[in-house]
Amino acid sequence: MKKQFLTIITIFIIISVVLLMFFNINKKPKNSILNLEDEITLKADRLGFMWTDIVPNDDLNFKWIRTNTAPFRRDYLEPKKGFYDFSITDEFVRRAQEKNIHVLATIYPYPRWEQPDKDRYEKENFSLDNLSLWAPPEYKGPPKDLSSYKRFVKALVERYDGDGIDDMPGLKIPIKYWEIINEVESGYINSRKGKINQWFFNGTPEEYVQILKTSYEAIKESDKDAFVLNAGMSPIPTNDVSKLYHEFWGKVFEKGEDFMDIISVHSLKDDKVENFFQNLNRFYGKYVKNKPIWITEFSTKSIDDCLTGIITALNHANKIFLVSYFKMEGLPEDALTTALRDYDGNPTELYFPIKTLGLLLGNAQKIEKINNNAYKFYRDDSIIFALWKQSKLPEGINGKFIKISYNGSYEIIDSKDYEESTKVQYLVVTKDLEGFLKKFKNQLKNREDIEKMLPSKYYVGKKDRKEKKINKKAIPFFGIEEDFIQENDYASLSTEDIKNLGVGIVRTHGGPFVWENIEPKRGTFDFSLTDNVVKQAAKAGVTLLASLWPYAMWDQGNDESCRVGGKIDAMRGRIPDFRCMPKDMEEYRRFVKEMVERYDGDDDFGNQLISEEMKAIIKKNPVLFWEIDNEVDTGDNVEHAKFFVGSIKDYVVLLKNSYNAIKEVCAECNVVIAAPAGNIKSYYDQISSYRGDEYFDVYNIHVPVDDAQREISALKGQPIIYTEGVECGTLSLLKGILTSALLNVDSTIFCMALEKAKVDSKGGLDKFDSSKIGKYFLLYQDGSKTPAYHAAQNIVHELTGFTKVQQLMSGDINSFKVFFQNKNPVYVYYLGEGATSREYSPGFSDFVVKDLFGNEKRSNNMIMLEEGNAYFIEAKDKYNEMQKHSKQKDETKTTEKFAVTDKKICGDNYCTIEEANSNSCPQDCSGRSCGDGICDEVETKELCPQDCAV
């Protein structure tokens, strides 16, 4: 038995040995040419992108991504002290590892709850203010509690270290490289140069060393195998700031050398790579000579310098991260030059050169410098020479090899046929020329394939902002704010007042479409307040723009991080003081659908009780415009409370859920995005960066139009509602309306009908100046109408139905021509800033002029322009009759409005040159004032070239 057992064991061993020999014989040697296909398909380990999306890496086959300012930010990940929310970074890491992309994570240690004082960077000093993905945090001071910060870093690193303890669910590619902030010297330099902008860090070198040391210790305690990088050093300057630069970094290296494993540097703009490394070694050589160097931002000002710069830098740096993938408005010149896709997502002329370089050199294991214009790269499968500037064929190349141009074109040639080139070219020496080319062609793809894979869904450039498709005629131009809620502390317009005012749309800004009001507890609805608002709007004959406030206390809970502060809060008592994004988004969507279904005017009024009378009212007066929150880009300060507690990204989540819920029950409803309190362009670029422009139909603005004409012009052709910003005064109201019309804004909400006309016990305007009531508000405290009401009423009456506005003059006298489809133009006049009262001839005779408040006066040819007032004149029908008569009398002579002739026959309805210049025949030439700077209805280019030459 024992002998049989030994026999079986012996047979088993023999079989095992044979199998092992078989598999070893057929196993590909590690360095064999048979590894060629695997070698080329590997992602470029030496190259990466500084970006917040994996699209560039996936497109170009780069292995590394540097996150810079998002998403590894403490303000995102620790919204309140000790409470960690890694959902944002989890999603980012999941998307990266799906594409086998490795992360260099940049940590920003600034929590909002610890740093209440914002330090916004200035647009003039940093041109990336419109790119939310790159914008630095608003809070940039050193952590006040380093022990709390250390706990945060340990928790963050532990989640992504891959040790199986407290890891992110599904983690496959751990994060082993951590960079601590970015370009920290910039704020130090600016503060000492008297500039407000602190960019990425507002502190001293000693304070940064403390952050670096704390971060290093925390990272190593959680993951001893992780590597720490210093904040990326901006290029070494040679101008007047160099002393401050070296003062900062000298102290950091002196005291913090032991707390950085890898040196992070930036090579940008005009720096020649060789000069850059010479300067780095000159100033900081003793600190950096024994440490790996990563160029974590790289760009140049020319395409040729970009390619040669990367090739040269690969001889010095272990990894290189390119700065820009898409062209975006606001990027610096060097980033625009080296961008790989244009504003529409099409490949730039640098796209194929960079992709070619990455495929060929991105996994080189060894590099040798031949001369300044020639380098030798060693790979497992081949040796590749990179040459430019007429470099000769390197020694040792004999026979056939592959020549690949800078932009990816290729051919197999013999060494005797080699030709020098000023451009970069690659010479590939390998045993399997055809096999190498086959895989290279597959990876590079041809231009047609590249253009088919445009990643436009990831970015909306300046030329392809999503065009909104709505019926613009459905948006009345003139509107006011009124919530139809009668309260003792407020003077409020009646429905009759609104009807007499003549406006066509009312925005219910102060309520009542508040989740808390309509659903005071989960599942219990009360539409009585909103039903009354819809009923009052129907009586007033206006369209409703319903401001939807997504807050309910039973949803918000008692999360103190959601509570708003500020002494003044116009919404206090009207919406809850807790204003975070809805906690239970499914419940919120259900509420929105129930509310919109009730008021959208179709035959389905939702699941709640409703009277037949109310159904009939809604059928005739549906609510089809829904505004989602208000000024979500504001922050807390001493005086005012914010409307929304959260980031722009949070708001886009809210906007998306609101939009989808509304459209699910009402496809014809229009979703109006919350207007920004700040820069219009910056705000909408941030919204676009999170793809939020897919989730609204109408743009919304608040900034005074005369302060934002350029930003509004960028939205030309899009539907725009101007919900705040036009001052509800007298002349100021007219100016705002005319400017809005000139900019093709579709609707102007120009006044708050429901104004806080006395001290607001609910936290409103506690420093209100009652002397301004008559000028800026529609009602006095007793409810009687102010001059502003009468001015608004007259402006709406005069201008309702206009089709176009043209500005004729500006300066001491401002004049406008307002066109209508079914009546003569209306001319508007008012004095410029600082101009004194004067008489003026508008070029008409025997006309009626109305002032801003509706007072009428007949005049022969002059009007008295007074400060603070404006004047309206409608062109008379008789001018059209005179034009018609003159054309019928002599159509062969002229097609102008008045004939040109030297024959003076007064009374023939022809205004001759002599008559025009002498003013001797007013019956023929009335309505003209040659030389007044206005080309009037009855002037021609020939009769009055000084007015009508253009």
Under 8 Å between Cβ of 413 and 401 = yes
Residue 378: the pLDDT is: 97
If phi > 0 it is left, if psi is from -120 to 50 it is alpha, else beta; for residue 893 that is: alpha
- Which alpha helices (H) appear in 445-494, and where do they start and end? 447-452
Residue 59: the pLDDT is: 86
In sequence order, what are the residues at sequence separation of 6 or more whose Cβ sits closer than 8 angstroms to the Cβ of residue 289?
A: 281
Q: How far apart are CA 469 and CA 107, in angstroms?
A: 41
Q: How far apart are CA 563 and CA 824, in angstroms?
A: 55
128 or 52: which leads in pLDDT: 52
Quick one: 437 and 539 in the same domain? no
What's the pLDDT tens digit per position in 544-567? Answer: 999 999 999 999 987 888 888 654
What's the pLDDT tens digit per position in 562-609? Answer: 888 654 455 555 778 888 999 999 999 999 999 999 999 999 998 899
Q: Where does the pLDDT of residue 410 fall: very low under 50, low under 70, confident under 90, or very high at 90 and above?
A: very high
Residue 886: the pLDDT is: 37
Residue 329: the pLDDT is: 64
**What element of type H or E holds 659?**
helix 648-665
Residue 844: the pLDDT is: 83
377: helix, coil or strand?
A: strand
Lowest mean pLDDT among 13-27, 53-67, 80-94, 613-627: 13-27
Residue 926: the pLDDT is: 53
What's the pLDDT tens digit per position in 910-919? Answer: 455 555 555 6
Quick one: 331 and 210 in the same domain? yes
Beta-sheet strand order (sheet of 813-820): 802-809, 813-820, 826-831, 870-874, 847-851, 856-859
| Cis peptide upstream of residue 71 (ω within 30 degrees of 0) | yes
Under 8 Å between Cβ of 940 and 912 = no
Quick one: 693 and 653 in the same domain? yes
Q: Are strands 410-414 and 400-405 parallel, antiparallel or unpaired?
A: antiparallel
Residue 128 tokens, joined: 């990336």
**DSSP assignments along 105-160, one per residue:** EEEB---TTT--S--PPPTTT-TTTT-TTTPPPS--SPPS-HHHHHHHHHHHHHHH
Assign residue 847 the CATH number of its domain.
2.60.40.1180
Query: What share of the chain in percent tops pLDDT 90?
Result: 48
Q: How far apart are CA 607 and CA 622, in angstroms?
A: 17
Q: Which residues pair with 613 in a beta bridge?
A: none
In a domain, residue 2? The reply is no
Answer yes or no: is pLDDT of 158 > 60: yes
Answer yes or no: is pLDDT of 99 > 80: yes
Under 8 Å between Cβ of 359 and 44 = yes
Query: What share of the chain in percent tops pLDDT 70?
Result: 75
Quick one: 449 and 309 in the same domain? no
Q: Where does the pLDDT of residue 486 fall: very low under 50, low under 70, confident under 90, or very high at 90 and above?
A: low
Q: Which residues pair with 401 in a beta bridge?
A: 413
12 or 710: which leads in pLDDT: 710
**What element of type H or E holds 384?**
strand 383-387
In sequence order, what are the residues at sequence separation of 6 or more whose Cβ sits closer than 8 angstroms to the Cβ of residue 247?
A: 205
Quick one: 149 and 260 in the same domain? yes
- Which alpha helices (H) appear in 838-949, and where do they start and end? 877-889, 913-918, 922-925, 945-948
What's the pLDDT tens digit per position in 352-404? Answer: 999 999 999 999 999 999 999 999 999 988 999 999 998 899 988 999 999 99
Under 8 Å between Cβ of 900 and 943 = yes
Answer yes or no: is pLDDT of 299 > 80: yes
Under 8 Å between Cβ of 443 and 397 = no
Last residue of a domain, one of 763, 797, 831: 797
Does the model's pTM come out above 0.75? no
In a domain, residue 11? The reply is no
Mean pLDDT along residues 610-628? 95
870: helix, coil or strand?
A: strand
In sequence order, what are the residues at sequence separation of 6 or more whose Cβ sits closer than 8 angstroms to the Cβ of residue 330?
A: 127, 128, 129, 130, 131, 685
Residue 729: the pLDDT is: 73
In sequence order, what are the residues at sequence separation of 6 or more whose Cβ sits closer than 8 angstroms to the Cβ of residue 896?
A: 940, 942
**How many domains does the chain contain in total?**
5
Under 8 Å between Cβ of 145 and 194 = no
Q: Which residue type sits at 659? A: Y
Lowest mean pLDDT among 1-10, 533-542, 551-560, 865-874: 1-10
Q: Where does the pLDDT of residue 190 fall: very low under 50, low under 70, confident under 90, or very high at 90 and above?
A: confident
In sequence order, what are the residues at sequence separation of 6 or more whose Cβ sits closer than 8 angstroms to the Cβ of residue 584?
A: 555
Quick one: 842 and 734 in the same domain? no
Residue 946: the pLDDT is: 53
Residue 664: the pLDDT is: 94
Residue 29: the pLDDT is: 33
Residue 947: the pLDDT is: 56
Under 8 Å between Cβ of 48 and 64 = yes
CA 405 to chain CA centroid, nearest Å: 38
What's the pLDDT tens digit per position in 228-239? Answer: 999 999 999 888
Under 8 Å between Cβ of 648 and 675 = no
In a domain, residue 729? The reply is yes
Residue 582: the pLDDT is: 94
200 or 361: which leads in pLDDT: 361
Q: Where does the pLDDT of residue 297 fall: very low under 50, low under 70, confident under 90, or very high at 90 and above?
A: very high
Assign residue 156 the CATH number of its domain.
3.20.20.80
Under 8 Å between Cβ of 755 and 483 = no
Residue 463: the pLDDT is: 37
Answer yes or no: is pLDDT of 126 > 50: no
Residue 452: the pLDDT is: 44
What phi and psi values does residue 945 have, to the nearest 5 degrees?
Answer: -65, -30
The mean predicted confidence, pLDDT, of the chain is 80
What's the pLDDT tens digit per position in 691-703? Answer: 888 899 999 988 7
Q: Where does the pLDDT of residue 765 fall: very low under 50, low under 70, confident under 90, or very high at 90 and above?
A: very low
Residue 442: the pLDDT is: 84
Residue 369 tokens, joined: 């410098």
What's the domain range around 413?
367-464
In a domain, residue 620? The reply is yes
In sequence order, what are the residues at sequence separation of 6 or more whose Cβ sits closer than 8 angstroms to the Cβ of residue 561?
A: 79, 80, 113, 580, 645
Residue 9: the pLDDT is: 54
Q: How far apart are CA 715 and CA 681, in angstroms?
A: 9
Last residue of a domain, one of 321, 339, 357: 339
Residue 891: the pLDDT is: 36
Answer yes or no: is pLDDT of 690 > 60: yes
Quick one: 451 and 482 in the same domain? no
Q: Where does the pLDDT of residue 505 fall: very low under 50, low under 70, confident under 90, or very high at 90 and above?
A: very high
In a domain, residue 613? The reply is yes
In sequence order, what are the residues at sequence separation of 6 or more whose Cβ sits closer than 8 angstroms to the Cβ of residue 899?
A: 886, 890, 893, 910, 911, 912
In sequence order, what are the residues at sequence separation of 6 or more whose Cβ sits closer than 8 angstroms to the Cβ of residue 428?
A: 360, 382, 383, 384, 401, 402, 403, 404, 436
Quick one: 260 and 387 in the same domain? no
Under 8 Å between Cβ of 836 and 867 = yes
Mean pLDDT along residues 485-503? 76
Quick one: 665 and 807 in the same domain? no
Residue 112: the pLDDT is: 80
In a domain, residue 884? The reply is no
What's the pLDDT tens digit per position in 335-345? Answer: 888 899 887 77
In a domain, residue 7? The reply is no
Quick one: 511 and 559 in the same domain? yes
Residue 839: the pLDDT is: 92
Q: Which residue type sits at 759? A: V
Last residue of a domain, one of 756, 780, 797: 797
**Residue with the two structure tokens 């790159």:** 134
Residue 897: the pLDDT is: 27
Quick one: 325 and 373 in the same domain? no
Under 8 Å between Cβ of 907 and 919 = no
640: helix, coil or strand?
A: strand
Answer yes or no: is pLDDT of 482 > 50: yes
Quick one: 122 and 264 in the same domain? yes
706 or 188: which leads in pLDDT: 188
51 or 119: which leads in pLDDT: 51
What's the pLDDT tens digit per position in 23-82? Answer: 443 333 333 222 333 444 478 999 999 976 788 888 889 999 999 888 899 988 998 899
In a domain, residue 29? The reply is no
Mean pLDDT along residues 791-816? 92
Answer yes or no: is pLDDT of 171 > 90: yes
Q: How far apart are CA 899 and CA 927, in angstroms?
A: 15
